[in-house]
Amino acid sequence: MKINSASMEVLIAFYNENNETFNPPLSSQIESIEKYVEKLKNNAVIFEAWDNDELIGLVAAYLNNYETKIGFITSVIVSRKYQKQGIAKILLEKTIDFAKEKGFEKIHLEVHKENKNAIGLYKTFGFVENSVEFITMDLKLRKN
């Protein structure tokens, strides 16, 4: 387990390789993976799981709002071949312990309503649902 040790290049490659593990895919939710990773490197705490020299999982959390004392977990990812081995649980434990040590009072996260496995995992830690569903809407301004 490491914190903030992965390089930009390693993180970009990891997010690209695991883009489809997000529901919906991360690339459809953000401007670019490169810009997203740059923002994480500059502002988030990244808890990393490694298998030798291979990054296999991470939790990225914004734990920098000391006024509200509310943290925000922005991503939880474990490479497909390492899933179902308790890695996400260990990463979340480390994240929560770190947040407590820093005096945070709450951690917020968002998860797609269809991601039942993630919701189940988060509930084991005591996360509670605040809303039933997130709705996104588009307006096409030009016909194809």
Render pLDDT for 33-82 as a digit per residue (tens, 0 to 9). 999 999 999 999 999 999 999 999 999 999 999 999 999 999 999 999 99
Question: Residue 118: inside a domain, yes or no?
Answer: no
Tell me which residue of 43, 126, 65 sits closest to 92, measured CA to CA.
126
Range of the domain at 30: 2-110
Cα atoms in the 13 Å half-sphere on the side-chain side of 88: 19
Percent of the chain scored above 90 by pLDDT?
68
Question: Residue 132: inside a domain, yes or no?
Answer: no
Question: Residue 141: inside a domain, yes or no?
Answer: no
